[in-house]
Structure 1
Amino acid sequence: MNSTASQTLLGTEDAAPVVVINPKGASSFLLIGDHAGNAVPKALGSLGLSDAELSRHIGWDIGIGELGALLAERLDAVFVRQSYSRLVIDCNRSPSQPDVIAEVSDGTVVPGNARLREADRAARFAEIHTPYQAAIAAEIARRDAAGMTTVLVALHSFTPAMKGALRDQARPWHIGILHDGGDTAFAHALLDVLRDEADLVVGDNEPYRMDLIDYTIPRHAYPRRRLYAEIEVRQDLLGSDEDCAVWAERLAQVLPAALG
Structure 2
Amino acid sequence: MMKLLTEAEGSPVAVENPEALSPFLLVCEHASRRLPEKMGTLGLSPDALSSHIAWDPGALAVSQLLVKSLDAALIYQRFSRLVYDCNRPPEAEAAMPPVSEVFEIPGNAAISASERQARTDALYVPFRDELADFIAARKASGRLPVLVTMHSFTPVYHGRQRGVEVGILHDTDKRLAASMLAVAERTKRYDVRRNEPYGPADGVTHTLIEHGVKNGLLNVMIEIRNDLIQDEAGQKVMAGYLTGLLGESLQALSL
Match of 1:256 in 2: 247
CA distance in 1 between partners of 2:202 and 2:189 (Å): 32
Per the TM alignment, residue 199 of structure 1 is displaced from its structure 2 partner at its CA by: 2.6
CA distance in 2 between partners of 1:15 and 1:35 (Å): 17
CA distance in 1 between partners of 2:10 and 2:155 (Å): 30
Match of 2:121 in 1: 126
Per the TM alignment, residue 96 of structure 1 is displaced from its structure 2 partner at its CA by: 1.6
Match of 2:168 in 1: 177
Range 206-215 or range 232-241, more displaced: 206-215
1:71 matched to 2:66: yes
Q: Which has the higher helix share?
A: 2
TM-score (norm 2): 0.94
Match of 2:30 in 1: 35
CA distance in 1 between partners of 2:107 and 2:157 (Å): 25
Deviation track 1:120-178 (CA, whole Å, cap 9, x = no partner) reads 11111001011111111011011111211211101011111221xxxx22211110101
1:220 matched to 2:211: yes
1:192 matched to 2:192: no
Stretches (4+) displaced over 3 A? none
2:149 partner letter:
A
In structure 2, relative to structure 1, the CA distance for the partners of 1:35 and 1:192 (3 Å cut) is: same
1:186 partner letter:
L
Structure 2 stretches lacking a partner, 5+ long: none
1:156 matched to 2:151: yes
TM-score (norm 1): 0.92
Per the TM alignment, residue 198 of structure 1 is displaced from its structure 2 partner at its CA by: 2.5
Q: How does 1:240-255 map to 2 (within 5 A)?
A: 240-255=231-246
| Structure 1 contact 19–81 (Cα < 8 Å) conserved | yes
- Residues paired across the two proteins, number: 250
Superposed CA RMSD in Å reads: 1.3
1:217 partner letter:
L
SS in 2 for 1:243: helix
Structure 1 stretches lacking a partner, 5+ long: none
Deviation track 1:28-51 (CA, whole Å, cap 9, x = no partner) reads 111000111111110111111122
SS in 1 for 2:187: coil
Per the TM alignment, residue 13 of structure 1 is displaced from its structure 2 partner at its CA by: 2.5
| Structure 1 contact 31–77 (Cα < 8 Å) conserved | yes
Match of 2:11 in 1: 16
